[in-house]
């Protein structure tokens, strides 16, 4: 298959390196594999921190820089040097036609473009500058600022560009709805909760910072229309119901005195303060951290209040300065990076026990032992799990927790009582977090009420936290490493979920990585860990699909556009991380001896830099499909190392005519939980 790049150029001829790779067909020697493994292993070990953990940059799009500038503008600080540094970074990321995309090679995205334009204007860029003219014209061609999403509209209201009447109402009374009801805060995804609570305080107080004449963005509204361009779904629909409710709330707001909302505001205030505890900011992610600062200001906290000082520190800890440019991370990923790096170094199998032991000790210390929001759905379960970030006590991550368990099994101290106890607690917790449909989600159980996706502030495409194939397969993989097989009741239910969600072509949707290559790799790896037959029709179809989307250069690539256009499954610029996923999937399917796997490894060997790293421009991580994408800067390192390491083991066993064993298998251990 010839897969076009996101810019429309065929990878067959786009890059001389890829042409050279495509021309190489000779056998791969054990020496080739060992040399490549050592180089990447050395690169990765050099990046390990003294206390044993790894952390790579987590890169998003320019909404982070623009929202930071807009936040500072609310406090009258838009002329600080950091804002100019953010502006330079944003201009570097501007599309040639004028707007801003949410991933490299992507099309203009209206909300990101409006915020970038507004931020640049506030910093001092003239609307007559060529870059600003191009941006304005591109935004107007896309329909103008009226088409911004709800969360962008709150920034515009905050700075006086639209009325709060033109934003969805976020009532603080949400916190008063009993958690067992379908429309309660507890029925929303964890990340939505952390955004909605401070936003409900802002929605109540309606703060406005007036911008001096000439610095606003009236010119971005076509014909002066500023109301949200809601898409009608018919009179008798949930969206119409919620829009009517929104209008009613706005009317009540104007008629009744502010004290009628006192209980709701107090509940939101208390919830927010409680969730600051033992976390790197509210939710430990950028959007709620910004809203928390604004909410504290609305509530009368002074700039020197401890809560405000800490909130600003947590936000600024995400800052990266590079020369005269400043960019922001959406959050940090040390637990995730450390777990995967540990597994990859173990797969290299080059005697790095000391590094693995340090990583295991660091991970063990990060286990969460206090109950978080998940206990609303699963009361009475002993707390366990790991966060994605350094600290996020209320939100242990199911995906991270499964990956950490597999990393701890690779530690030289895996049989020690502390690690065995942690694995037992985590496995018990993960089994309890299985959804009623048989799958697993990211943070909670059974957050799947589709009606909530119709509320007016749900256009961030992340209102729910439903089951997904990649996390379901990750938990199954972990259970396989703990000795369980397909007959285990939880695995059996998980498998039924996977069979229901397999695409007609044989692939699986990737919720947390781009996209079908990611999902298919993870499912195949999960199946292999439970010794699932490789001749099963579902496995055969999945492996066939992976082979069908391999490019002539030997690599695999898939663009973020496959979320918008499923016909683009498996098509895009080839990358090191996605090639590694595909090769790992083929190894898991028992096809390590085939030509596609060999060509994939050859692609990795030939594109590896002298220092053991790989270059990777496309984003291969997913935050919210169709809304926010991520570039994990270590994906290009530890996943190729994992693929090459496992390929070495697999082909060696095949050459020695021994019984093939999955390269991910750890030594057999007694089940560490009941």
592-617 residue pLDDT tens:
999 999 999 999 999 999 999 999 99
What does the buried/exposed string (b/e) look like for 392-405 if buried means 16 or more CB atoms within 10 Å of the residue's CB? bbbbbbbbbbbbbb
Together in a domain, 48 and 73: no
Does 228 fall in a domain? no
- pLDDT score for 251: 74
Together in a domain, 29 and 107: no
Q: 15-24, 77-86, 155-164, 640-649: which has the minimum mean pLDDT?
A: 15-24
Residue for token pair 């929104």 = 246
239, pLDDT greater than 80: no
Residue pair 199/291 in contact by the 8 Å Cβ criterion: yes
Does 672 fall in a domain? no
Residue 234: which pLDDT band, with cuts at 50, 70 and 90?
low
Together in a domain, 483 and 496: yes
Contacts of 300 (CB under 8 A, 6+ apart): none
- pLDDT score for 670: 41
Does 411 fall in a domain? yes
Together in a domain, 24 and 43: yes
Per-state percent for the chain, helix, strand, coil, to nearest 5: 55, 5, 45
User: CA distances (Å), 340 to each of 190, 614, 649, in order?
Assistant: 24, 17, 18
Does 298 fall in a domain? yes
Does 235 fall in a domain? no
Whether residue 399 lies in the annotated active site: yes
For the stretch 561-577, pLDDT in tens is 999 999 999 999 999 99
**In terms of residue numbers, what domain contains 577?**
11-58+332-655
How many angstroms separate the CA atoms of 238 and 454, rounded? 6
Cite the DSSP H helix spans in 48-109: 63-74, 81-92
23, pLDDT greater than 70: no
Token reading at 654: 């095949």
- Mean pLDDT (whole number) for 423-440: 98
**C-alpha Rg value of the chain to the nearest Å:** 25
End of a domain among 304, 328, 352? 328
Contacts of 430 (CB under 8 A, 6+ apart): 385, 398, 401, 402, 405, 440, 475, 478
Residue pair 113/74 in contact by the 8 Å Cβ criterion: no
How many angstroms separate the CA atoms of 181 and 199, rounded? 21
Residue 248: which pLDDT band, with cuts at 50, 70 and 90?
confident
For the stretch 602-657, pLDDT in tens is 999 999 999 999 999 999 999 999 999 999 999 999 999 999 999 999 988 777 76
- Mean pLDDT (whole number) for 398-417: 97
Contacts of 100 (CB under 8 A, 6+ apart): 61, 62, 90, 93, 94, 108, 109, 112, 113, 116, 135
CA atoms within 13 A on the CB side of 552: 16
- pLDDT score for 674: 53
How many angstroms separate the CA atoms of 467 and 437, rounded? 8
238, pLDDT greater than 90: no
545, pLDDT greater than 90: yes
Together in a domain, 348 and 483: yes
- pLDDT score for 246: 66
- The pTM of this model reads 0.94
Burial of 657 (0-12, 13-18, 19+ CB in 10 A): exposed
For the stretch 497-521, pLDDT in tens is 999 999 999 999 999 999 999 999 9
Better-predicted residue by pLDDT, 638 or 244? 638
Together in a domain, 433 and 554: yes
12, pLDDT greater than 50: no
Q: What angle do CA 478, 482, 488 make, to 5 degrees?
A: 85
266, pLDDT greater than 90: yes
Mean pLDDT of the chain: 92
Does 650 fall in a domain? yes
Residue 109: which pLDDT band, with cuts at 50, 70 and 90?
very high
Cite the DSSP H helix spans in 557-594: 576-588
- Mean pLDDT (whole number) for 540-562: 98
- Mean pLDDT (whole number) for 63-90: 98
End of a domain among 328, 357, 379? 328
User: CA distances (Å), 561 to each of 103, 127, 276, 383, in order?
Assistant: 9, 31, 36, 38
Q: Which of 415, 345, 397, 449 is nearest to 45 (CA)?
A: 345
- pLDDT score for 525: 98
Q: How many CB atoms lie within 10 A of CB 57?
A: 14
For the stretch 372-397, pLDDT in tens is 999 999 999 999 999 999 999 999 99
How many angstroms separate the CA atoms of 656 and 481, rounded? 24
Token reading at 392: 């996020």
Residue 346: which pLDDT band, with cuts at 50, 70 and 90?
very high
**% of the chain beyond a pLDDT of 90:** 84
CATH number, position 577:
1.50.10.20
Residues in the chain: 674
- Mean pLDDT (whole number) for 351-357: 96
End of a domain among 313, 328, 343? 328
Residue 7: which pLDDT band, with cuts at 50, 70 and 90?
very low
- Mean pLDDT (whole number) for 446-467: 87
Does 673 fall in a domain? no
Q: 298-302, 340-344, 454-458: which has the minimum mean pLDDT?
A: 454-458
What is the count of structural domains for the chain?
Answer: 2
How many angstroms separate the CA atoms of 649 and 661, rounded? 9
Token reading at 270: 């208390």
Together in a domain, 131 and 45: no
**From 314, 337, 397, 399, the catalytic residue:** 399
Task: Choose the most confident range, by mean pLDDT, from 17-31, 46-60, 660-674.
Answer: 46-60
Residue pair 619/93 in contact by the 8 Å Cβ criterion: no
Residue 435: which pLDDT band, with cuts at 50, 70 and 90?
very high
* β-bridge partners, 556: 575
229, pLDDT greater than 80: no
- Mean pLDDT (whole number) for 43-48: 98
- Mean pLDDT (whole number) for 61-66: 98
Does 664 fall in a domain? no
Together in a domain, 490 and 572: yes
How many angstroms separate the CA atoms of 536 and 539, rounded? 5
- pLDDT score for 260: 77
Together in a domain, 54 and 78: no
How many angstroms separate the CA atoms of 342 and 90, rounded? 35
Together in a domain, 123 and 21: no
Residue pair 467/441 in contact by the 8 Å Cβ criterion: yes
Residue pair 603/561 in contact by the 8 Å Cβ criterion: no
Residue pair 524/539 in contact by the 8 Å Cβ criterion: yes
Q: Which of 510, 673, 612 is nearest to 525 (CA)?
A: 510
Better-predicted residue by pLDDT, 250 or 266? 266
Residue pair 109/102 in contact by the 8 Å Cβ criterion: yes
Q: Which of 86, 7, 166, 19 is nearest to 552 (CA)?
A: 19
Element of type H or E holding 522: helix 516-529
How many angstroms separate the CA atoms of 565 and 542, rounded? 20
Together in a domain, 27 and 138: no
Together in a domain, 282 and 298: yes
For the stretch 279-297, pLDDT in tens is 999 999 999 999 999 999 9
Token reading at 273: 């303060």
- Mean pLDDT (whole number) for 70-78: 98
Token reading at 566: 């499923």
């Amino acid at each position: 298959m010839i897969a076009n790049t996101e810019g429309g150029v065929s990878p067959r001829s786009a890059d001389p390196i890829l042409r050279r790779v495509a021309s190489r067909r000779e056998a791969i020697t054990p020496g080739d594999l060992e040399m490549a493994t050592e180089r990447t292993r050395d690169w990765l070990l050099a990046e390990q921190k003294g206390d044993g953990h790894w952390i790579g940059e987590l890169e998003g799009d320019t909404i982070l820089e623009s929202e930071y500038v807009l936040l500072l503008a609310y406090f009258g600080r838009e002329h600080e040097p950091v804002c100019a540094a953010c502006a330079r970074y944003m201009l570097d990321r501007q599309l040639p036609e004028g707007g801003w995309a949410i991933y490299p090679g992507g099309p203009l995205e209206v909300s990101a473009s409006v915020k970038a334009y507004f931020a640049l204007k506030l910093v001092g860029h003239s609307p007559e500058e060529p870059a600003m003219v191009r941006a304005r014209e591109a935004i107007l061609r896309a329909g103008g600022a009226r088409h911004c999403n709800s969360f962008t509209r709150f920034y515009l209201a905050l700075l006086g560009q639209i009325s709060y009447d033109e934003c969805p109402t976020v009532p603080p009374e949400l916190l008063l709805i009993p958690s067992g009801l379908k429309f309660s805060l507890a029925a929303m995804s964890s990340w939505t909760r952390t955004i909605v609570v401070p936003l409900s305080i802002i929605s109540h107080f309606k703060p406005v910072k007036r911008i001096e004449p000439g610095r606003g963005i009236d010119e971005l509204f076509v014909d002066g229309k500023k109301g949200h361009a809601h898409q009608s779904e018919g009179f008798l629909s949930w969206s119409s119901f919620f829009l009517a409710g929104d209008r009613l709330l706005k009317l009540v707001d104007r008629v009744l005195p502010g004290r009628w909302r006192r209980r709701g505001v107090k509940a939101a205030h208390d919830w927010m303060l409680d969730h600051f505890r033992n976390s790197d900011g509210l939710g430990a992610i950028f959007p709620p951290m910004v809203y928390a600062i604004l909410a504290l200001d609305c509530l009368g906290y002074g700039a020197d209040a401890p809560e405000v000082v800490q909130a600003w520190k947590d936000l600024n800890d995400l800052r990266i300065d590079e020369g005269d440019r400043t960019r922001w991370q959406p959050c940090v990923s040390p637990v995730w990076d450390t777990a995967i790096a540990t597994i990859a170094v173990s797969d290299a199998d080059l005697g790095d026990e000391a590094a693995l032991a340090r990583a295991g000790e660091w991970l063990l210390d990060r286990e969460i032992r206090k109950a978080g929001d998940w206990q609303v759905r699963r009361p009475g379960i002993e707390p366990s799990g790991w966060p994605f970030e350094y600290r996020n006590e209320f939100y242990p991550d199911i995906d991270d927790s499964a990956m950490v368990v597999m990393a701890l099994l690779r530690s030289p101290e895996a049989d020690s009582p502390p690690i065995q106890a942690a694995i037992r607690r985590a496995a018990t917790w993960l089994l309890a977090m299985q959804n009623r449909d048989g799958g697993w989600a990211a943070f909670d159980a059974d957050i799947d009420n589709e009606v909530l996706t119709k509320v007016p502030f749900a256009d961030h495409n992340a209102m729910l936290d439903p089951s997904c194939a990649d996390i379901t397969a990750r938990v199954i993989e972990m259970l396989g490493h703990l000795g369980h097989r397909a007959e285990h009741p939880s695995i059996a239910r998980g498998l039924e979920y996977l069979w229901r969600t397999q695409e007609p072509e044989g692939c699986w949707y990737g919720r947390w990585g781009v996209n079908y290559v990611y999902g298919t790799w993870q499912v195949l790896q999960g199946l292999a860990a439970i010794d699932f037959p490789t001749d099963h029709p579902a496995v055969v179809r999945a492996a066939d699909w992976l082979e069908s989307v391999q490019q002539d250069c030997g690599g695999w690539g898939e663009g973020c556009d496959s979320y918008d256009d499923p016909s683009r499954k498996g098509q895009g610029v080839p990358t090191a991380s996605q090639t590694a996923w595909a090769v790992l999937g083929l190894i898991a399917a028992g096809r390590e001896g085939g030509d596609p796997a060999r060509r994939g490894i050859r692609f990795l060997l030939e594109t590896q830099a002298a220092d053991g790293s790989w270059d990777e421009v496309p984003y291969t991580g997913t935050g919210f499909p169709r809304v926010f994408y991520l570039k994990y800067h270590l994906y290009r390192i530890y996943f190729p190392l994992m693929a090459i390491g496992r390929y070495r083991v697999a082909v060696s066993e095949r050459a020695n005519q021994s019984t093939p064993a999955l390269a991910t298998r750890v030594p057999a251990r007694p089940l560490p939980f009941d």
